[in-house]
Amino acid sequence: MRYPSQATIIEVGPRDGLQNEAVHVPTDAKVRFVDMLSDAGLPVVEVTSFVHPKAVPRMADAHEVLRAIRQKPGVRYPVLVPNSRGLERALAAGAREIALFTAATESFTRANINRTIDQSIDDARAVIQAARPHGARIRAYVSTAFACPFEGPVPPEQVAGICARLLDAGAEQIGLGDTIGAATPADVSRLLDRVLGLAPLDGWGMHFHDTRGTALANVVRSLDYGIAVFDSAAGGLGGCPFAGPNATGNLATEDLVYLLDGLGVETGVSLPRVMDATRFICARLDHAPTSKVFQAGGRLVPKPLATA
Ligand code: HMG
Ligand code: MG
């Protein structure tokens, strides 16, 4: 078969989606959003982030959200953690899976977490060592894996070096982040050709933002390589507050599910139920969803031509 028979979608709407919204979303609405997403069949829902509440005020209720969601058996609920303090807070709230993050460029790492790359990898190592005794699963994002808002295109060699160090520190999976949605399939090939030898295939996931409309094309190219883990956000919400004003939404979950369904790649996700979750959360925001599939009303339902 040309593509993997199954793929795992990591839903990041409650975290990447809501972290940069202008409108305050009440805690109970965030909780309902997470519950609707897990009810839609999403196997992994990134719930929130334990970053500094002054840096990202929209995630200030991380503890309350994680405590209040209904944890569905079989569904994983990772949370974003920048450092040891974040880990302590996450564990105190009951987290069993964490996602660390650093970046492939110094400028973005500085803007995002006020660290050099070396410092961020030291922090990652400390967090992984402290998380292990708690049995927590550990994923690590490498942001600006294709392009940096401050430094431009990023050489695959530079990204590979960061990935190797995170894997050495004990990260179980690397999420390659196209933080500002600049990559094309040619960039995906160049990067995957360079990094895939560093870890088994299931040690990689792709985190595409859809700023320039290339995310789905990038997913298809990643599938060609056998990658079967993709991040997306319901409604196409999202963006990193520290990546500049043009860093817009994640690849929309609806668009990803529609694509994978059409390619015969099993996800276990219900498209209509993801759309329900999008409708629910966007009613509490100040803008409409960007998902093409949502805008089209979902799957095609033919309406016979009326005859006079
Ligand atoms: P800092 O100011 O350098 O922190 O911020 P510090 O270590 O110097 O500590 C200063 C104070 O903050 C101390 O308190 C710490 O305890 C406290 P004091 O002793 O002064 O009272 N502190 C914390 N408090 C709560 N939670 C914490 C925490 N850490 C320290 N975790 C820091 C460094 C990383 C905390 C800050 O820069 C930060 O929170 N940044 C947020 C970055 C962020 O959330 N970015 C968006 C997510 S990343 C993303 O979207 C990209 C991704 O989607 C992938 C992609 O698209 O590429 C993942
Ligand atoms: Mg992101």
Residue ranges per structural domain of the chain: 8-296
Q: Contact at 8 Å (CB) between 141 and 99?
A: yes
Q: Whose CA is nearest to atom 52 of ligand 1?
A: 143
- In degrees and rounded to multiples of 5, residue 214 shows phi and psi of -105, 0
- Ligand 1: nearest atom to the Cα of 239: 50
Q: How far is the CA of 15 from the centre of ligand 2 (A)?
A: 9
Report pLDDT for 1. Answer: 52
Which alpha helices (H) appear in the chain, and where do they start and end?
Answer: 27-39, 62-68, 84-92, 106-113, 117-131, 156-169, 185-195, 215-224, 253-263, 271-282, 292-295
- The reply to whether CATH 3.20.20.70 applies to domain 8-296 is yes
15 Cα distance to chain centroid? 8
Q: Contact at 8 Å (CB) between 277 and 37?
A: yes
User: What DSSP element (H or E) covers 175?
Assistant: strand 173-178
Amino acid identity, position 149: P
Amino acid identity, position 179: T
Cut 0.95: pTM above it: yes
Which tokens belong to 222? 């990643």
Residues 6+ apart with CB under 8 A from 217: 184, 185
Mean pLDDT, 10 residues at a time, the chain of 308 residues = 91 97 96 98 98 97 98 98 98 98 98 98 98 96 97 98 98 98 98 98 97 97 98 93 82 98 98 98 95 96 87
Catalytic residue set = 240
